[in-house]
A and B are shown apart, each in its own frame.
Chain A
Amino acid sequence: MYHKEKSIQIKNSASALYNNLSVLRIAPRRLTYFTVVHANVVNMVSASWDGLNYSHRQLQSKEPNVATSTSLIMQAAFCVLPSRELLVITSQKGIQMYESDGSIMVYWHALDTPETPSEVNYVPAQAVFARGISAVWENYICVGVSSGSILVFDVPSKGSNITLSEVLEEHKESITDIASECSGSQQCIADLVSADDGGNLCVWKSGEEFQLLNKIPGFDMSCSSVKLWKGTVVAGYGTGQIRLYEAVTGILHAEVNAHARWIYSLDIAPFSGLLLSAAEDSLVRVWHLTVSQETNSVEVAHLHNECVTDTQICGARFCDGDGYAFAVTGYDLSEIIRYTQT
């Protein structure tokens, strides 16, 4: 069904972080951008579709007051809004937003550190970091925080006047991933889902004030990656299971014993309903989802396996909306592996 293409070499190896690959397809320029996180650096590659040109860029995590940063980056993700595309980078110190080519930083938000006692280098027992990034609706970017809060940023169609619009306090554990659907054009009942370390899922409706529509409890098993498609939440867990829930009601539609180890990444190709899952067990699997909102039924079919030998996979993404191609990153690997449909 898929065959392996020529890999793209990157400057550093990928770190073992959830959802450690982001892809942005730029059709007018026949380019695709890829980002992979390595410790305190984001490796960006711009690949031309004819396979002839590759250019690389590295972005560092920002830290106030120190020339060189040791702050570790948790995630880098492209956010596509109707008016513009931004690259969002989250780290232990805060949130950076860049123009999608990584050329200019347009916004920096420092994370609040909890009340610090007088000792200068106080480190709280609870880790502080931002993780979980998604564009929502027309003008919002949501970012999760280790405390469980979700920061909602209001993004104007141009310029750097980005503001923090709201803080959603519903999760009690660290946010792991956030996903949305229906940005811009369509109207959906629910357009955002957030997941945390305890496996709890929150379903939201965006707006000037975000509305919590539903809470789906986890069973103390971390949900590391989540997607939202046709009103269905697709969640990947540390146990290797994938579960599909109806977002608004929380009804469990399907449960898949998908992987033998912790799932690190999920992606959906919205036009075809293809689902991609990747885990520490070295396997990437392709599934087909059929969601019928009229009959309220969901079907899952397994289509394909790819084994990346001796590699714990940390990122997997479709490169286009139909799922014609996908890319994969793995811990300690300095390449982005690509597969295309035969």
Chain B
Amino acid sequence: MSSRTLPLLFINLGGEMLYILDQRLRAQNIPADKAKKVMNDIITTMFNKKFLEELFKPQELYSKKALRTVFDRLAHASIMRLNQASMDKLYDLMTMAFKYQVLLCLRPKDILLVSFNHMDAIKDFVKDTPSILSLVDETYRQLIEMYTSLSHGEFQLIRQTLLIFFQDMHIRVSIFLKDKVQNSNGRFVLPTSGPVPHGTQVPGLIRMFSCTGEEVTRLQFNNGGNYTAGLREGSFEMFGDRVTKLGTNMYSVSRPVETHMSGTSKSSAQHTKVNTAPNPLAKEELNLLAKLMGGLEVQKTGNADSGFRVNLFATDEEEEEALITRPDELSYGVINIQATKDHQANAELAKIMGEFTESGHQSPSASSKGDDLLAMMDGL
């Protein structure tokens, strides 16, 4: 499938993560300077030059396990800590939000507009810090360079690749249920009303032509929906009205965000079947993780003065409860990697990766080697 999907997946999920963290930092009354530091640190890490270089290379999508690990790292790029249950919930919310946006996009190219909506909001988060702002601007440029010239068919391929990644995820999100955009079975509501995509006509007309090209007959039929004419096209430039609301911050109004675990285990079990196939491209995932780790400042995790914990649940008890009751099929199998710029650890990692490269072409054991490497990183 499309080898240009990862940057869009990462940026949009990252954007959703920032919306949620911003809301939780406010809800927990974290002091403004600390909250700002967290947001700035995460955004700086997200748009780290070397990291983006790796991200924008043509490649297949990462496994769910690897991507989840990347976001784990990202969420801990600053003085904020999240417990396992809160991290799980954060990731659930992020992924379901982006799945919703991908599904509801009027046409595949709109995924780029959704990405720009996220980028616009991120830019707003760091507008007071020129150094980070320039990183964000650079990312806009890379997005524009890579994506604006793609055809509609290529965007549909990207969309189809994303939909395979999100296949069978039906976690219920309280804010979606309340807004009636998600049903109680976890499936999103797809309305048969509203504006048609830019470039599409409202269904209902049949035109028949003679051999010379003249219209001979016009027939109307009932389209079974309630559609209106398409809106103007959104802007694909660094600034502009994106037109679509998908990808904008839906947490601006302070609302508690709960996810429901029950009733989703059946469909998720089918999903994990595809996921457990060994991934022979684990090396690429390690590259990205290494770049991410390499760019981090050492955080004094034990410092009681600056560090703090954020809870995605209303109370600590709820958080503990969520950890215990989470169905097995929905666990992400996260690899624990410590935030460290330890040179020795990096050298160790580089050596391990060097060994993996030397093994050369793919053989039946290569896939298990990838898994071993990922497991080895546990101990770093």
Contacts and interface: CB of A to CB of B under 8 A. Distances in A.
Given A67-B364, A67-B367, A283-B192, A252 B58 contact: no
Contacts of A312: 103, 190
Given A257-B205, A260-B202, A127 B3 contact: yes
B295 interface: no
A261 B108 CA distance: 10
B213 A238 contact: no
A contact residues, range: 35 or more
A174 interface: yes
A296 B364 CA distance: 59
Given A222-B151, A281-B192, A281-B225, A238 B156 contact: yes
Given A127-B1, A240-B196, A120 B157 contact: no
Interface in A272-331: 281-283, 296, 298-302, 305, 307, 309-312, 331
A39 B189 CA distance: 23
Interface stretch (B88-96, B124-132, B233-241, B354-362): B354-362
A13 B270 contact: yes
Contact of B163 (A15, A121, A307): A15
Interface stretch (B25-33, B64-72, B78-86, B273-281): B273-281
Interface stretch (A68-76, A184-192, A226-234): A68-76
B142 interface: no
Contacts of A281: 190, 192, 203, 225
A176 interface: yes
B187 A39 contact: no
Interface in A65-113: 65-70, 72, 92
A66 B362 contact: yes
B207 to A, nearest CB: 5
B277 A69 contact: yes
Nearest to B364: A67
Interface string B1-20: 11110000000000000000
B366 interface: yes
B207 A38 contact: no
B151 to A, nearest CB: 6
The residue in B192, B267, B279 that gathers the most chain A C-beta atoms within 10 A of its C-beta is B192
B270 A197 contact: no
B199 to A, nearest CB: 6
A125 B58 contact: yes
Contacts of B258: none
B222 interface: yes
B224 A197 contact: no
A15 B366 contact: no
B107 interface: yes
Contacts of B361: 65, 120
A176 B187 CA distance: 28
B197 A261 contact: yes
Contact of B208 (A121, A240, A299): A299
A208 B267 CA distance: 49
Contact of B283 (A121, A197, A220, A252): A121
A310 B168 contact: no
B107 A262 contact: yes
A215 B177 CA distance: 49
Contact of B227 (A92, A260, A262, A334): A260
A299 B208 CA distance: 7
B209 A310 contact: no
Contacts of A224: 156
A67 B279 CA distance: 11
Interface string A14-41: 0111000000000000000000001111
Contacts of B219: 300-302
Given A197-B153, A239-B201, A302-B221, A66 B364 contact: yes
A307 B283 CA distance: 45
Given A65-B362, A260-B227, A254 B203 contact: no
B188 A310 contact: yes
The residue in B157, B205, B227 that gathers the most chain A C-beta atoms within 10 A of its C-beta is B157
A259 interface: yes
A66 B59 CA distance: 19
Given A66-B362, A127-B1, A257-B201, A252 B153 contact: no
B223 A260 contact: yes
Contacts of A38: 167, 274
A241 interface: yes
A70 B279 contact: yes
Interface in B154-173: 154, 156-157, 159-160, 163-164, 167-168, 170
Contacts of A236: none
Nearest to A69: B277
Contacts of B167: 13, 15, 38-39, 331-332
Contact of A254 (B164, B190, B208): B208
Contacts of A251: 209, 211, 213
B353 to A, nearest CB: 12
A183 interface: no
Given A16-B159, A302-B219, 14 more contacts: A15-B164, A16-B164, A67-B367, A123-B3, A123-B57, A220-B151, A254-B207, A260-B192, A260-B200, A261-B106, A300-B208, A302-B206, A309-B190, A334-B267
Interface of A: 11-13, 15-17, 38-41, 65-70, 72, 92, 120-121, 123-127, 129, 173-174, 176, 196-198, 220-222, 224, 238-241, 251-262, 281-283, 296, 298-302, 305, 307, 309-312, 331-332, 334
**Which 3 pairs of residues, A with B, have the shortest CB-CB distance?**
A197-B153, A302-B221, A222-B153
19 contacts: A13-B167, A13-B267, A120-B361, A124-B58, A125-B3, A127-B3, A174-B153, A222-B152, A222-B156, A224-B156, A239-B197, A239-B201, A253-B208, A255-B206, A257-B202, A257-B206, A260-B203, A283-B225, A310-B189
